[in-house]
Chains A and B, each alone.
Chain A
Amino acid sequence: MRLSRRHLLALIGAAGAVAAAGAATVGLNWWDQAADAPFGALEAEEAAVVRAVGAAAFPGGPSIALHGRDADLDRFFDVLLLALPATQRKLLKLLLHALEYGAVLDQGGRLSALPEQQQRAFVMGLLGHPISEVRGAMQGLVVLLGMGYTTHPEVAPIMATWHRCGYGQ
């Protein structure tokens, strides 16, 4: 990924910001919109990157069946972006573009077009990246998407069995 240090610093701030500022989703049924409904803030290409990161980080399985790919995290992210100040929205979109094209150098293809295992290898690689700003930005983005995933109506009731006050009880 060819990002300058200045950009990286800005990105981690933005990613951290969004990780914390996902409140825009509350009260909105982001998971319950038609697949072809227009996005408010995301371009289609950016939405595909969000879906790829969700799929890479949160695969479905025996504990919780819902796959991150199917958790409508692009909708979650879209609503969230809309609530952010313009600078942070721009930086986050820049991060998505960096991920999309960074994968070309690392995995030989755009992130959104890679097979899931390669998407995962790329995302996990960034989560363990030697540059702390890259790790931080990726962690911020994943924590944020994790909020979307864990509050999805198929997941929230399961989370509620562990986290009484936090997820619907």
Chain B
Amino acid sequence: MSELKGLSPEAWRRAIAETIGPCGQPGYPTPDPLALLQPAPPAAGVEAVPTDREVTVEVVVVGGGPGGGSAALALCAAGLDVLLLEEGPARSYFRKNYAHTARYHMQEAGTMVARGSAMMPIAAGRGLGGSSLVNSALSFRPPRQVLDHWASLLDDPTLSFDALQPLYDEVSGIVGVGITRAEISGENNDLIVRGIEKLGLVGGLAPRGTPGCVGCGVCYFGCPSGGKGSTNLTFLPRATQLGLRIQAEVKVEGLLVEGGVVRGVRAVTVDPHTGARGATLTVRAQQVVLSAGAVGTPRLLWHAGLGPQLGPHTGEHLQVHPGSTIVAICDHEVQMWKGATQGAYFHHPDLPGVLPHTFSAPPEACLVAAGFLGDRWQEGLALLPRMCGMLLMVSDKGEGRVRAFGDGRADLVYNFADEDVDRIKRGLVEVAKVLQAGGAKDLYVPIHGVPMSRDPEALAAHLHDRTIRDFTLYAAHPMGTCRMGARIEDGVVDRQGRAFGLENLWIADASVFPSSLGVNPQLSTMVMGTRVGRALAARG
């Protein structure tokens, strides 16, 4: 959101209010979970493909995340015969630890790490629902300046902020976006809100797509109450009611291409428990929609040897909203794991493009981040009830790229821009001030060489000389790797999501964004998925 630079204070506040959408207005009705959330859709698993098989459909969609789910709904609503293929399990395996989540519901079992200016794990979900299974469902809209920039870049007024708002309204309605309810917010969010109010900043409880949230604080394990409006409980069941068929536990490994025209996909079954490969599934289709995510889509294209054919931007421009975290200790009990996982945010006028919001992670990860190990392990355990946290992400200027290793895993590179590192450091200082204004005392940052601090100014001094290699990093918002462009010289797909380099190929996921969003990407991914699905259906 560096585009918010230079606005008058009123225009700045207005621009931020627009990122919340109508749910931030007084009188906006509370989303009704019973009306919105539906049982997960029926999906066939590996057992449905016991021997090698070939099927024919009108459209095949690869990937069951927000992009694939929304595209599939749009296609089915237009009466097309659609099959959705998903690598992850046919049902959700939510359990009581992250290890289990990683095995079943993280792409490459949570092992994707980008190299470049620093090692940075990059997370992406897997299964019917994709990353929405394990995300916190924060649901911001991009600022007017970002979308209007896209519209002018692509010379397409239908991408402007005003033109896209009806689509944002529509997808927000489907996932049930509402401001985090005070009764389930919890002290980890409430203390941030107190800090924001004390410092007179813009922010508060955040919009989330969690109409049935009971505030159990473990969105990253998968929602045990089924109260999150993840794609498996929203877009996919609606689409199956309109005829969508879903084959899960099937990994697409190649495209069927004849003379520059895509005729379908080649897939193999993957046992959800062991990862063992089984029978092959060949899907012949008139149109192919790739929605494997901003890592998964270029990984598949490069692994299939099609990267060059799709133009010079295939897998390029990886952006991820990198950032950092503060774990803080209060004098009072916080109970980080009681309340909405990530339910508060703020903006600082001097930090365009920086979006701080609540942090929460499993206890052992918090203790490692804060350095409570060895002689301090027991002290850390005793402090767990008083621990709170906040992270920040930046709308990145840095970027990287996605390729595929020979075995099909993602080969990721990401290089930080100095400007981003500077904004992360300055953002951490403002986060520290907010946490302290809300009641936190001791501030721990997972940055090598920065000791515990009780004073944000001292923290600023410690951060001054640190390089990005000192940071413990993590990113969960890959985007932009098959971006939209006006021509193949500018992007991989056109304004509608249709590939320039191959006939009958479409891309509908977070990879099509022409630039870093500056806000959490799930709503925008759903908007793009719907847009691409409708554009394809309109071709008849």
Contacts and interface: CB of A to CB of B under 8 A. Distances in A.
Interface of A: 9, 12-14, 16-17, 19-26, 56-64, 68, 80, 83, 85, 87-88, 120, 123-124, 127-128, 130, 132-133, 135-136, 139, 142-144, 146-147, 149-151, 159, 162-168
Contact of B378 (A25, A61, A165, A166): A61
B469 A132 contact: yes
A27 to B, nearest CB: 9
B373 A162 contact: no
Contacts of A19: 110
Contacts of B384: 162
B332 interface: no
Contact of A64 (B374, B381, B407): B381
**Dominant SS among interface residues on chain A:** helix
Nearest to B384: A162
Contacts of A80: 99
B104 interface: yes
A85 B103 CA distance: 12
B242 to A, nearest CB: 33
Interface in B44-101: 95-101
Interface of B: 95-104, 106, 108-111, 113, 115, 118-119, 121, 216-218, 221, 224, 275, 335-338, 362-365, 367-368, 371, 373-375, 377-379, 381-382, 384-385, 407, 448, 469-470, 472
Contacts of B382: 62-63
B99 A23 contact: yes
10 contacts: A12-B113, A20-B98, A22-B102, A25-B99, A143-B364, A147-B97, A147-B98, A150-B363, A162-B337, A167-B96
A40 B113 CA distance: 27
Given A56-B374, A59-B374, A132-B448, A166 B96 contact: yes
B381 to A, nearest CB: 4
A135 B448 contact: yes
Nearest to A145: B364
Contacts of B375: 59, 120, 124
B448 A128 contact: yes
Given A64-B381, A146-B368, A151 B97 contact: yes
A156 to B, nearest CB: 8
Contacts of B99: 20-26, 80, 144, 147, 151
B378 A21 contact: no
Given A130-B448, A147-B99, 6 more contacts: A9-B115, A20-B98, A22-B103, A88-B111, A146-B367, A166-B96
Nearest to A59: B377
Contacts of A59: 374-375, 377-378
Nearest to B97: A151
Contacts of B365: 143, 146
Contact of A21 (B103, B216, B448): B103
Contacts of A120: 374-375
Contacts of B103: 21-24, 26, 83
Contact of A20 (B111, B338, B373, B469): B111
B377 A166 contact: no
Closest 9 CB pairs of A and B: A23-B103, A20-B110, A17-B111, A146-B364, A22-B99, A61-B378, A63-B381, A20-B102, A21-B109
Contacts of B95: 26
Contacts of B368: 139, 142-143, 146
Contacts of A17: 108-111, 113
Nearest to B115: A9
Nearest to B104: A23
Contact of B374 (A124, A135, A147): A124
A57 B374 contact: yes
Contacts of A159: 363
Contacts of A56: 374
A20 B109 contact: yes
B110 A165 contact: no
Contacts of B101: 23
- The interface centre, meaning the residue of A23, A56, A57, A150 with most chain B CB atoms within 10 A of its CB, is A23
Contacts of B275: 85
Contact of B472 (A58, A133, A136, A144): A136
A127 B119 contact: no
Contact of A168 (B96, B115, B221, B469): B96
A115 to B, nearest CB: 14
Given A21-B103, A123-B374, A26 B111 contact: no
B364 A162 contact: no
Contacts of A26: 95, 97, 99-100, 103
B218 A12 contact: no
B470 to A, nearest CB: 7
Contacts of A83: 103
A20 B364 contact: no
Contacts of B113: 12-13, 16-17
